[in-house]
């Protein structure tokens, strides 16, 4: 469900990578999956089938369906349906496996999750292999429920083909260590910070005050990484890594240009900790206090709680602001491959999962990991708005992120956004930790990007 999960590797998955590396010589058959045409769900009732059926759902990371009890709830709605999860830890590995299965047309799950990092590829190259959500029963009603940009990200330019229904989105704010800011003698209440952090210039200037403080912890920096600023600011442009037609365009992107400017400015001002996001040292820093602030999409709340642990409850807080304007980081969809054995039942399950009530549950349940609804009706629900987070100093996360989600600006996405962002943020680490000149670093990043785009 994250934007740059290829960074977040564990030992176990690295071992999987070793195995995959050994298999690099192996080819795969190129027969394209035929798939049956969409059958009507209405004749078989609301569950898509009346026969006892097991549906497999291909996921990556933690989607939280099982954790929030949705599978058990569906068992009550459709007693004949049993859901079986097929989970891959890393979304990059998941995508490689999905591509292999799409190429061979076999082994596909009844439902396949699609992440923002590769949804553009699915739309451009595999749309004919997925059920089109514009031609399922209740299509128009479904469409009306989602944020239009969320629906659009999973659709082709004409809007005639849509490959998945949205799960969550990632409206962003700033998470910060209240105790560290207070120790530095700076304001630490969310309302004041919201007025002080409205632009990136202000945010960096505030960071300089933090660094200048004699009372802050010695090894603590203001923000975790230049990448944190870059990955956020790049989506505040009219373009990020692709133009309106979805074609990769880094050199002319206003988002890349301004984001690179802010990120290198922050690095030059020495307000960044120079950590690589999703690396083990970065993970440790959530509790060690190596940094005081971080750009914080809703799903980052879950990540912070996982890394910092209960000891730091109440020390972390959220400022209801994103420097430079509201935007989104991350999010996923659920699609149904036409080759799926139980297509009608799978369509019914996905419609149920992405409906208002279930998305409300995902956000409000006690075990929730920051899955903000992509269903705008769910986002507007009063129980979503009234949600607070005890861990984050009782932040009113419902209204806070709801306000940001309501005014988000979302640029077009392209085929290689994940790799391009990795190339740029890797070079930002060099600027921060090795003093590489920003121009040289940018040229190196473009060279690495050329390796991807060909």
DSSP per residue, 30-85? -PPP--PPPPPSGGG-TTS-SS-EEEEEEEES---TTTTTHHHHHHHH-TTEEEEE
Q: Does 6 bind another protein (CB under 8 A)?
A: yes
Other CB atoms within 10 A of residue 296 CB: 27
In the bound state with another protein, the residue whose beta carbon lies nearer, of 82 and 283, is 283
Fill in the per-residue mask, 115 to 154: x = in contact with another protein (CB under 8 A), - = not in contact: ------x---xx----------------------------
CA angle 260, 327, 138 (to 5 degrees): 140
In the bound state with another protein, the residue whose beta carbon lies nearer, of 14 and 195, is 14
In the bound state with another protein, the residue whose beta carbon lies nearer, of 99 and 208, is 99
In the bound state with another protein, the residue whose beta carbon lies nearer, of 182 and 446, is 446
- The number of CA neighbours under 13 Å toward the Cβ of 54 is 4
Tokens coding 66:
């099982």
In the bound state with another protein, the residue whose beta carbon lies nearer, of 188 and 425, is 425
* Residue 142 to residue 41: CA distance in whole angstroms: 15
CB of 116 to another protein, least distance (A): 16
Closest among 308, 317, 314 to 286, alpha carbons compared: 308
In the bound state with another protein, the residue whose beta carbon lies nearer, of 96 and 198, is 96
Residue 97 CA, distance from chain mean position: 19
CB of 136 to another protein, least distance (A): 25
Q: Does 443 bind another protein (CB under 8 A)?
A: no
Mapped onto helix, strand or coil, the DSSP state of residue 86 is strand
Q: Where would I find the beta strands (DSSP E) of 215-371?
A: 221-223, 291-297, 316-319, 328-335
Mapped onto helix, strand or coil, the DSSP state of residue 241 is coil
In the bound state with another protein, the residue whose beta carbon lies nearer, of 126 and 221, is 126
Closest among 378, 371, 385 to 67, alpha carbons compared: 371
CB of 216 to another protein, least distance (A): 18
CA angle 227, 231, 234 (to 5 degrees): 130
Stretch that binds another protein, among 152-160, 314-322, 400-408, 444-452 (CB under 8 A): 444-452
* Residue 301 to residue 391: CA distance in whole angstroms: 9
Q: Does 4 bind another protein (CB under 8 A)?
A: no
In the bound state with another protein, the residue whose beta carbon lies nearer, of 18 and 390, is 18
Q: 270: Cβ–Cβ under 8 A, 6 or more apart, which residues?
A: 211, 221
Q: Which residues does residue 82 pair with via DSSP β-bridges, in sequence order?
A: 54
> Which residues, numbered 102-121, are part of the site for another protein (CB under 8 A)?
102-103, 121
Q: Does 7 bind another protein (CB under 8 A)?
A: yes
Sole binder of another protein in the list 2, 3, 5, 9 (CB under 8 A): 9
CA angle 12, 366, 182 (to 5 degrees): 85
In the bound state with another protein, the residue whose beta carbon lies nearer, of 56 and 290, is 290
* Residue 146 to residue 165: CA distance in whole angstroms: 8
Stretch that binds another protein, among 106-114, 131-139, 247-255, 277-285 (CB under 8 A): 277-285
Other CB atoms within 10 A of residue 175 CB: 23
Count of residues for the chain?
A: 454
Sole binder of another protein in the list 185, 280, 306, 406 (CB under 8 A): 280
Q: Does 18 bind another protein (CB under 8 A)?
A: yes
For tokens 């933690």, name the residue. 62
CB of 169 to another protein, least distance (A): 24
> Which residues, numbered 199-258, are part of the site for another protein (CB under 8 A)?
none
| Cβ atoms of residues 363 and 371 within 8 Å | yes
Q: Does 30 bind another protein (CB under 8 A)?
A: yes
Sole binder of another protein in the list 28, 77, 157, 443 (CB under 8 A): 28
Q: What is the DSSP letter of 23?
A: G
Judged by CB under 8 A, how many residues of this single chain contact another protein?
46
CB of 340 to another protein, least distance (A): 19
> Which residues, numbered 401-440, are part of the site for another protein (CB under 8 A)?
419, 426-427, 429-430, 433-434
* Residue 29 to residue 172: CA distance in whole angstroms: 42
In the bound state with another protein, the residue whose beta carbon lies nearer, of 126 and 178, is 126
Tokens coding 113:
């999750």
Fill in the per-residue mask, 73 to 92: x = in contact with another protein (CB under 8 A), - = not in contact: -------------------x
- Catalog residues that contact another protein under the rule CB under 8 A: 6-7, 9-15, 17-18, 20-21, 24-28, 30, 32, 92, 96, 99-100, 102-103, 121, 125-126, 276, 279-281, 419, 426-427, 429-430, 433-434, 444, 447-448, 451-452, 454
């Amino acid at each position: 469900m994250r934007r740059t999960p290829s960074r977040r590797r564990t030992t176990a998955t690295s071992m999987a990578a070793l195995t995959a590396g050994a298999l690099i010589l192996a080819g795969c058959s190129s027969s394209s999956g035929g798939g049956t045409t969409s059958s009507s769900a209405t004749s078989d009732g609301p569950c898509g089938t009346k026969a006892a059926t097991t549906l497999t759902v291909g996921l990556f990371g933690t989607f939280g369906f099982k954790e929030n009890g949705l599978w058990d709830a569906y068992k009550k709605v459709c007693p004949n349906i049993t859901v079986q999860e097929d989970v891959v830890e890393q979304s990059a590995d998941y995508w490689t496996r999905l591509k292999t299965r799409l190429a061979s047309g076999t082994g596909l799950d009844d439902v396949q999750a699609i992440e923002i990092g590769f949804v553009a590829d699915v739309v451009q190259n595999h749309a004919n292999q997925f059920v089109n959500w514009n031609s399922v029963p209740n299509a128009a009603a479904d469409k009306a429920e989602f944020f239009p940009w969320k629906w659009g990200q999973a659709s082709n330019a004409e809007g005639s083909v849509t490959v998945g229904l949205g799960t969550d989105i990632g409206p962003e704010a700033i998470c910060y260590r209240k105790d560290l800011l207070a120790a530095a003698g700076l304001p630490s209440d969310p309302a004041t910070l919201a007025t002080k952090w409205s632009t990136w210039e202000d945010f960096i200037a505030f960071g300089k005050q933090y660094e200048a403080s004699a009372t802050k912890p010695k090894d603590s920096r203001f923000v975790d990484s230049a990448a944190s600023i870059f990955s956020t600011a790049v989506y505040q442009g009219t373009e990020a890594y692709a133009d309106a037609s979805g074609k990769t365009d880094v050199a002319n992107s206003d988002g890349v240009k301004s984001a690179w400017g802010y990120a290198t400015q922050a690095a030059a001002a020495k307000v960044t900790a120079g950590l690589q996001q999703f690396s083990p040292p970065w993970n440790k820093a959530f509790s060690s206090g190596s940094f005081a602030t971080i750009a914080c999409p809703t799903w980052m709340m879950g990540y912070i709680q996982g890394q910092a642990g209960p000891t730091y409850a109440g020390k972390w807080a959220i400022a209801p602001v994103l420097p430079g304007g509201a935007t989104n980081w991350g999010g996923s969809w659920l699609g149904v491959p036409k080759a799926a054995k139980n297509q009608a039942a799978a369509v019914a399950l996905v419609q149920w999962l992405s409906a208002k009530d279930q998305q409300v549950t995902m956000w409000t349940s006690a075990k929730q990991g920051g899955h903000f609804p992509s269903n705008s009706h769910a986002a507007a629900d009063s129980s979503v708005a009234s949600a607070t987070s005890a861990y984050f100093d009782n932040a009113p996360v419902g209204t806070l992120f709801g306000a940001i989600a309501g005014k988000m600006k979302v640029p077009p996405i392209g085929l290689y956004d994940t790799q391009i962002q990795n190339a740029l943020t890797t070079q930002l680490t060099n600027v921060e930790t090795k003093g590489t000149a920003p121009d040289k670093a940018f040229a190196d990043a473009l060279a690495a990007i050329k390796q991807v785009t060909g």
